[in-house]
Amino acid sequence: MLKKLLKTGNYPANIDFSLLIFRVGVSAMMLTHGYGKFLKVINGDFRFGDPLGIGVEASLTLAAFGEFVCSILVILGLATRYATVPLMITMLVAWQISHGDDPFSTQEKSVFYLLSFLTILITGPGKYSLDRKIFGK
């Protein structure tokens, strides 16, 4: 078993399983950031920043949608590539606008998420996803 894991090469089964672990893991971590924002929207508590100048209600709603709803879609592997776009936009705004003047150690988390969701956009959800089950892709 260990020899198989250490052997180099392209093994589709390993790649699909790795994509599942990566997709679910990164999205579950993002979900923890979006859950609080989602609850604020549900409760009508719109105390939030307005980094794009579109209003605090719109800013919070869009951030909650990206970080909570889209994270769930990515975990499920449903409309995965579409769901990564709002997540990437939210992380780009967090990195460049909300934390633009902060040191990189503070920006690092949003850059990590941005690159992670970009990777999922490029690779797709893999074999173990609802996209594959429903659409065969």
Residues 6+ away with beta carbon under 8 Å from 68: 31, 34, 35, 37, 38
Domain membership of residue 61 as a residue range: 14-130
DSSP assigned state of 76: H
Flag whether 81 is in a domain. Answer: yes
pTM of the entire predicted model: 0.88
Flag whether 103 is in a domain. Answer: yes
Flag whether 4 is in a domain. Answer: no
Question: How far is residue 54's CA from residue 17's CA, in Å, rounded to a whole number?
Answer: 40
Total of domains in the chain: 1
- For residue range 36-95, list pLDDT tens digits in order: 999 999 999 999 999 999 999 999 999 999 999 999 999 999 999 999 999 999 999 999
- For residue range 83-101, list pLDDT tens digits in order: 999 999 999 999 988 887 8
pLDDT of residue 14: 83
